[in-house]
Structure 1
């Protein structure tokens, strides 16, 4: 097994990343977690196996957004499958203190309709930790010329995104969803970040520990502003990602995908199929366990475009 696929190595990489990101030495982390400095050193050098208690305390100390804890769970599950760790140890491990959110399933659909790119996202959210979730953030991020930064900056300064044109909408719940309250957090010419507040018509709808809910949101951007790419950045632990493109069959697209992480860049196969409507072609890319902090990107080229 390669170290890239080894859950123990992935746990150590996550731990080291967040320790350095927080500006802590091994001694600092040991002091915050209540472990001896030599134990932290042994964990990072993989001379000792991580334990649930250490992972829980490290998550609390480093506030990784549950990433460290999820790496430990993946590691513990692998050991349990191999018969090297009793399964009851997993159930006995308490969740990290605080509010932590996991995306169990994310489905992203981008359609080209009458000169507009219309994007719809469906997320199944699971609340972990000990505190309720009351909000989450989403981003609208476009780049007309991603390979020419100066040209793109000049273009978007002349043609900035506006809230009116994106027509953002969001709902919470499955079956009979309710409209979500939202507000703008940050805004630039080609970028809008919004926070979705778990309230609807003045009523609070917190996601309590252990509960799940469904979030849907949608927006649109004129085709001439968007660029020929769609990227998902994995900022929260995600169990499954599915990206779809729905384009008129007359566009005759060439589509390819790529995965970029801190350690590698890989190409991906994108499946093409013809849905029920003959005038539309669909392209699908499914990623069963996307990597944290990795980027998954679809690019396309129209038949009438030059390379």
Structure 2
């Protein structure tokens, strides 16, 4: 399917680059001089937008002109120079196989694709994109890095072949060359100059490899579905000595971030560990991202990260962000049952990831939607030892016991301290099921404390707000309760 046959392709391209560059819609509006509602409408597909906006967004997000090309394709306008028949029309990807290998401070990507020409013209070349981002979500920091240390062709050492098993080495030509972004045409021509066109109805393999030093590559790899695809697979091949922790997300055409639909497989063999994930018939414009963090730093270097820094890396919103002081928007249930399901899925995924960064075995853990940047009245609470959470939608405290106790609490949004605060020993919480049913659940002791902590977050309240006069937070280094349960009289 060509871009001008798909009315959402341009909007999807805008969202793709927002995601790649870590730009919010507000930040893009500020960078381009357009207002935020206009940008939001373009990204959602509700507004066609102008070529002037596409050019401004290309410049702000350093896309190499990708948005203007998508805009012109969407509006049926030819770009200059007019492209020769290529992968943009009449191609299906039968097999899309990517492997990212890390060793000695260098990432090496190997990409293999079996292409089927379902169009009416021979395919003479194939466009590939190489984009790196060391600090996703921090565009200014990434921009400065790549201005000072641009990704070079010497870094990449790009090689390409045509035919299964690297039958024919092929040449490539540069379409765009930016500090952190490259577009390259793989030319279907042998070393001896012979053309190797892929004719209508034929299938053929393209393979290419390139390398990027870890100083220029962030801990993530993404596959974006730009053509109809039958099978997509991604693998990470990492040193076992780094104790990697890997997770993944699926970003849909609507922009929703969801857990991967199937688990990531793990194969630990000797000194390497291999994480692999695959799917069949992925939807167009879907994006699948594998992310990782090192449990032990490469080269046996110690990780000197503060607890708050660890949580920030794991995606937890930190104290000072306005969303932590706002009242979360309640769901209109059951009408918004799907939105609630998505919010809960994102919370569960985030909570699983957070568990890789700290020992919560004694007290359990919880997470509220504002802590992952969602304006939604949703929270999950995991009692100690539980694999399934208590799910709270639109929770309200309707009754609490007069009897209280004082215990230390930690908050993922300012995890460098612990605060000793009073909480009721029993609490009644009214909450709503996705089908709109309302219920009241009673929580006791430690679970009551966990639930109240998360419900507070949905009303812009932090646990430190409950500190009694004369009490102050203590540094985490002075806290001795990690891994142990709160103490209660039997």
TM-score category (smaller protein): 0.5 to 0.7
Q: Hey, what does 2:250 align to over in structure 1?
A: 259
Decide which of 286, 290, 293 is 1:294's aligned counterpart. Answer: 286
Secondary structure of 1:274 counterpart: strand
How far the C-alpha of 1:291 sits from its partner, in A, is: 1.4
Matched, 1:218 2:209: yes
Q: Hey, what does 2:264 align to over in structure 1?
A: 270
Matches of 1:230 and 1:19 in 2, distance apart?
22
Could you tell me which runs of 5 or more consecutive residues in structure 1 were left unpaired when the two chains were aligned. 1-13, 22-61, 65-97
Matched, 1:199 2:189: yes
Pair 254,211 (structure 1): closer, same or farther in 2 beyond 3 Å:
same
Q: Segments of 4+ in structure 1 off by > 3 A?
A: 14-21
Matched, 1:167 2:161: no
Pair 261,281 (structure 1): closer, same or farther in 2 beyond 3 Å:
same
Q: Hey, what does 1:279 align to over in structure 2?
A: 271
Instruction: Judge conservation of contact 2:166–2:207 (CA < 8 Å) in 1.
Output: no
Secondary structure of 1:203 counterpart: coil
Q: Hey, what does 1:179 align to over in structure 2?
A: 169
Q: What is the TM-score normalised by the length of structure 2?
A: 0.43
Matches of 1:18 and 1:190 in 2, distance apart?
23
Q: What is the TM-score normalised by the length of structure 1?
A: 0.67
- Name which structure has the greater RCO, CA cutoff 8 Å, separation 6+: 1
How far the C-alpha of 1:176 sits from its partner, in A, is: 5.7
Q: Hey, what does 1:116 align to over in structure 2?
A: 106
Instruction: Judge conservation of contact 1:99–1:130 (CA < 8 Å) in 2.
Output: no
Q: Hey, what does 1:250 align to over in structure 2?
A: 241
Decide which of 191, 199, 206 is 1:208's aligned counterpart. Answer: 199
Could you tell me which runs of 5 or more consecutive residues in structure 2 were left unpaired when the two chains were aligned. 13-71, 75-87, 297-302, 311-490
Instruction: Judge conservation of contact 1:174–1:213 (CA < 8 Å) in 2.
Output: yes
Matches of 2:228 and 2:205 in 1, distance apart?
16
Matches of 1:279 and 1:242 in 2, distance apart?
23
Pair 224,261 (structure 1): closer, same or farther in 2 beyond 3 Å:
same
Matched, 1:188 2:182: no
Pair 147,240 (structure 1): closer, same or farther in 2 beyond 3 Å:
same
Matched, 1:129 2:119: yes
How far the C-alpha of 1:241 sits from its partner, in A, is: 0.7
Decide which of 140, 149, 155 is 1:150's aligned counterpart. Answer: 140
Pair 19,290 (structure 1): closer, same or farther in 2 beyond 3 Å:
closer
How far the C-alpha of 1:272 sits from its partner, in A, is: 1.0
> What's the C-alpha RMSD, in Å, of the aligned pairs?
2.2
Where is the strand percentage greater, Structure 1 or Structure 2? 1
Pair 222,207 (structure 1): closer, same or farther in 2 beyond 3 Å:
same
Matches of 1:271 and 1:20 in 2, distance apart?
33
How far the C-alpha of 1:167 sits from its partner, in A, is: 0.2
Matches of 1:118 and 1:166 in 2, distance apart?
9
How far the C-alpha of 1:130 sits from its partner, in A, is: 1.2
How far the C-alpha of 1:17 sits from its partner, in A, is: 3.5
CA shift digits 1:131-187 (9 cap, x unpaired): 111111111110000021100100111110100111000000124610112111001
CA shift digits 1:114-144 (9 cap, x unpaired): 2100000010000012111111111111000
Matches of 1:233 and 1:145 in 2, distance apart?
19
Pair 16,169 (structure 1): closer, same or farther in 2 beyond 3 Å:
closer
How far the C-alpha of 1:262 sits from its partner, in A, is: 2.4
CA shift digits 1:205-242 (9 cap, x unpaired): 00001100011100000012101000111111111110
Q: How many residues align?
A: 219
**Larger C-alpha radius of gyration, 1 or 2?**
2
